[in-house]
Structure 1
Amino acid sequence: MKILFSIAGLEFGGSEVFMLRITKMLAQQHEIILLNTRPDVVNEKLLQTALDRKVRLINTPSDILSKLIPFFKKLNSRYAIAYKIDKLFLKVILKYFKIDILCSFKYESDVFICSALETYNIPIVISTRGCYSLMHQYLSGNPESYEYFNTQTRKAFLRANGLVWLTQKNIDILKTLHATVPDLNIQIYNGYQSAGILEKQVSRDSLGIAEDAVVFGMVARGIEEKGWKVAIEGFVENQKENSKELHLILVGDGEFIAELKKQYASDKFIHFVGKAENVVQYITLFDVAVLPTWFAGESIPNSVVEYLYCNKPVIATNWVEIPAMLSTATDIAGFVVSITREGLPNQKEFTECMKMYIQDKTLIEKHSKLAMQAFEKFSMELCAEKYLRFFQNVKDEYSSY
């Protein structure tokens, strides 16, 4: 099958990382084209480490033209030239590579693809995550912008022939926006596959951590809503009450993280290690992994999948699909912390969950085994198989019209 994936920007985020993983897996047996509709938004390190050499990456041309031609921006504002050029370019790509089906990720890409191909003969699948919920929340205070977002969303889903979704929240927000949910829709969890054989570049010793210490850790985007402050405050509180050597490893960067690093610079047991190209090398050092998130754009946090892959117990919030992610057939691989009436993680519960692991290492061992079982639902092979089967169903249904 010849499949074109489209996304608006390739920065470091959950949608982008998963798209690079699924295209890598599918490219083993299928021809995969990856179209970036926002070539001005690219994380080069992400591409260097995650883009498979069999996947052909193509950028829409209008951004380059705006840099090369002095009057392009002025003309574009009057005649919408950029959209027309990118629309024509998209159709050329589809014909040249004889694409069978197109799959779009993220709102901006969804709107462009479905508008540009409104009458074009090709099946379109939208793979939705948390972006619609995020925009719904952030634009709700701006009636004009919200109305535009709402209108464009409804138009896009009128054209879409199929929908892949992660959580019920993804469906609920579309209904809130009065968008048409395609009859052909399916829930598929993000799959995960390691980058390869791990060559440990870090060790506990390199960070000054004793082998018998209890190590908590967190990997996430460097924004407040991921719960960094909650994790640190829970850790500091347990430091006061326990004589055991405790450490907290924090993997991520950004302005918010930088401020926290200054604030806790004197605590040698809190390790701010920055962003890592291979986060697994740090997760393997954890005894317990945490993610006290309340991020509006959350669906299936990649970091939780990576924690489970490394067989780590998890303390996380009762947020979107996280409880189901941690669940096995009969148990759960960690603890789920409630969200307060204010919409924030329950700090007291989180701190207490940390304390239980500190006091009982057998609990860590028990939940580690459960984490191994919980990860099975995130097999990349299973994920790719479900995507391909769904693509074929959409393609067959579209052909029968």
Structure 2
Amino acid sequence: MLVVRLANFFAATQDVYVYNARPWLWNKQILNMFSLNVRILNSSGNPEELRDYIIEEKIEVINSHIWWSDKIVYKAIQGLEKVNWILSMHGCYENMIENPDIDQEFSIIIKDLMHKANHIIYATSKNTKIFDVIKLKDRDKAQKVYYGYNLQSIPPKSKRLLNIPEGEFVFGLVSRAIKEKGWEESISAVIRLNNIMQECIHLILVGHGNYAQELREKYLEYPYIHFVSEFTEPSEWIGWLKIFDVAILPTYFVSESLPNSIIEYLAYNKPVIATDIGDIKHMIYSEKTHKSAGILLNLNEDRRVEVEDIVQAMKIMLTDETKYKEYKSHTNILFEQFQMENFAQTYFSLYLNFDKNSKELVTIENFEYQVSSPRLMQSDRRR
């Protein structure tokens, strides 16, 4: 989602190309979310192919996301000294450190790869663990940047589509449908909660994948567990999110850093229940204002989430109206740190390779760049 939002944002004023480092993994719905101004390059996942695109299209800046993209860029730009390479980390390096067998090349090229990147962006302090492994010489080229998000005018879905009566409480979870995002733990918690409260409390799970289908079949007998996997419109899940009373993400995914789901939860004023992993704590609690937009759950010694902890957090949201309203009222405060203007301006400055001490400024007004730099006043659109 970050790649989609970055590409669409900058395609209004720049030439933007997207290259898939693993073309055997793709999703039609995601492709349909790209603006028509973004050029999706045909891809075989070959560094030589990417190198040819860079040369033919006179591409000046490359922004890679996730290890496999970083690796293919590293190979493609050998000898291309004028390319400005921004490497964005999102948590996969922690997984690679713990499980180096995922890719045998990791330990061989990671040190040189990190040194070759012109800039490194990380989402959370957790991501910097890789620097302890490779001893990055120039730590100044690495900086922490939070994601950004623009509110979208997507209408809320009707609860009637899932046979949910108005007035019945709805918890919801939006994520990739993988075990480590806490899907089954959430289901178990809501089943237990219904038994305790003796009322109908619903859970909507929004996400696509084989795992979602397995759970759908396993919990078919529970009418208050709802699965939403198919979408016909870009960002359609936002419509489902808007009907949640409380949004949850009890994740224990090893690469979890700064979940887009939680940013979206905050954007649409949903109180949050989530686990303390990555920067989630700072996403839903402000140390500056001491305001909280939800409840944080600790992982156990096995780095898993306890179902009972989810149940207790859900009970608070259900029964303590004062707390619920307090969390909901603070979502706007916590969302301020994810303003698209700040996020995009930081990225754009790195794309231009501005010196940190430079006094040149890039300002954003109505999400359109007004650029004073002579480099960007040429008639050709920048890549």
TM-score bin (small chain):
0.7 to 0.9
2:245 to 279, 287, 311: 287
Equivalent-residue separation in structure 2 for 1:165 and 1:370 (angstroms): 26
**What are the Cα deviations for residues 272-317 of structure 1, in whole angstroms up to 9, with x where unaligned?**
2224451111111110011100001211111111111111000000
Report matched runs for 1:160-171 at 5 Å: 160-171=117-128
Matched, 1:30 2:11: no
Q: Could you tell me the percent identity over the aligned residues?
A: 29
Corresponding residue number in structure 1 for 2:273: 315
Equivalent-residue separation in structure 2 for 1:275 and 1:394 (angstroms): 43
1:39 to 20, 23, 38: 23
SS at match of 1:366: helix
2:338 to 364, 378, 382: 378
Aligned 8 A contact 1:314 1:333 in 2: yes
TM-score normalized with structure 2 length:
0.85
1:218 to 154, 173, 198: 173
Higher helix content, 1 or 2 = 1
RMSD: 2.2
Query: Relative to structure 1, is the Cα distance of residues 26 and 349 closer, same or farther in structure 2, using a 3 angstrom cutoff?
Result: same
**What are the Cα deviations for residues 117-169 of structure 1, in whole angstroms up to 9, with x where unaligned?**
23212221101111212233333xx4xx6653112211211211111110111
Return 147-156 or 339-348, whichever deviates more.
147-156
Equivalent-residue separation in structure 1 for 2:54 and 2:226 (angstroms): 48
Report matched runs for 1:342-381 at 5 Å: 342-381=302-341
Unaligned runs of 5+ in 2: 358-383
Deviation for aligned residue 1:265: 1.2
Unaligned runs of 5+ in 1: 1-16, 64-82
TM-score normalized with structure 1 length:
0.81
Identify the structure with bigger relative contact order (alpha carbons < 8 Å, sequence gap 6+).
2
Which residue identity is paired with 2:247?
A
2:212 to 236, 244, 257: 257
Equivalent-residue separation in structure 2 for 1:348 and 1:36 (angstroms): 41
Which residue identity is paired with 1:290?
I
SS at match of 2:205: strand
1:129 to 87, 90, 93: 90
Query: Relative to structure 1, is the Cα distance of residues 341 and 181 closer, same or farther in structure 2, using a 3 angstrom cutoff?
Result: farther
Corresponding residue number in structure 1 for 2:154: 198
Return 380-389 or 170-179, whichever deviates more.
170-179
**What are the Cα deviations for residues 6-51 of structure 1, in whole angstroms up to 9, with x where unaligned?**
xxxxxxxxxxx11010111112222222222333322122111x11
Deviation for aligned residue 1:247: 1.0
Equivalent-residue separation in structure 2 for 1:317 and 1:375 (angstroms): 18
**What are the Cα deviations for residues 85-107 of structure 1, in whole angstroms up to 9, with x where unaligned?**
x42x4444334433332211121
- Aligned residue pairs: how many? 351
Aligned 8 A contact 1:118 1:159 in 2: no
Aligned 8 A contact 2:86 2:350 in 1: no
Query: Relative to structure 1, is the Cα distance of residues 248 and 105 closer, same or farther in structure 2, using a 3 angstrom cutoff?
Result: same
SS at match of 1:36: coil
Query: Relative to structure 1, is the Cα distance of residues 38 and 152 closer, same or farther in structure 2, using a 3 angstrom cutoff?
Result: same
SS at match of 1:111: helix
**What are the Cα deviations for residues 60-119 of structure 1, in whole angstroms up to 9, with x where unaligned?**
4x46xxxxxxxxxxxxxxxxxxx5xx42x4444334433332211121221221222232
Aligned 8 A contact 2:94 2:129 in 1: no
Aligned 8 A contact 1:125 1:162 in 2: yes
Query: Relative to structure 1, is the Cα distance of residues 149 and 394 closer, same or farther in structure 2, using a 3 angstrom cutoff?
Result: farther
Corresponding residue number in structure 2 for 1:148: 105
Equivalent-residue separation in structure 1 for 2:282 and 2:236 (angstroms): 25
